[in-house]
Amino acid sequence: DAGVTQSPTHLIKTRGQQVTLRCSPKSGHDTVSWYQQALGQGPQFIFQYYEEEERQRGNFPDRFSGHQFPNYSSELNVNALLLGDSALYLCASSLGTGVATDTQYFGPGTRLTVL
């Protein structure tokens, strides 16, 4: 059973560009959450997708957007990149009960560097 997979592993962009990160959830999972981990900090919640809709959103600007496909895979898009967007982006999948006790299973992350 493949776990959560993310692509690409690493990415280098310049300020002002746009980036798309991809995530495939664990088999049987229908909910995908995205987190940003800046250096020296814990992961911060960006948003969660369930049934192709954004179910909840963290404190991130509208430059961060996402999408979930019918096969439950997901994309994270970031527009007008800033230097401060450099971080590790983690995707997590879970079953869509939406309760706080759901275990979220994480992928290895995509390292984004903005120059």
Partner 1 sequence: ILNVEQSPQSLHVQEGDSTNFTCSFPSSNFYALHWYRWETAKSPEALFVMTLNGDEKKKGRISATLNTKEGYSYLYIKGSQPEDSATYLCAFSGGTSYGKLTFGQGTILTVHP
Beta carbon nearer to partner 1, 81 or 109: 109
Nearest alpha carbon to residue 104 among 30, 54, 37, 7? 30
Q: Judged by CB under 8 A, which of 8, 16, 61, 98 binds partner 1?
A: 98
Give the shortest CB-114-to-partner 1 separation in angstroms: 22
User: Which residues pair with residue 44 across a beta bridge?
Assistant: 36
Beta strands in the chain (DSSP E): 5-7, 10-13, 19-24, 31-37, 44-50, 53-57, 64-68, 74-78, 87-94, 105-106, 110-114
Q: Does 45 bind partner 1 (CB under 8 A)?
A: yes
Choices 14-22, 50-58, 62-70, 75-83; region in contact with partner 1 by CB under 8 A: 50-58
Q: Does 28 bind partner 1 (CB under 8 A)?
A: no
Q: Does 7 bind partner 1 (CB under 8 A)?
A: no
Please state, in angstroms and rounded to a whole number, the distance separating the CA atoms of residues 56 and 61.
14
Residues that bind partner 1 (CB under 8 A): 3-4, 31, 33, 35, 40-45, 48, 50, 55-56, 58, 90, 92, 94, 98-109
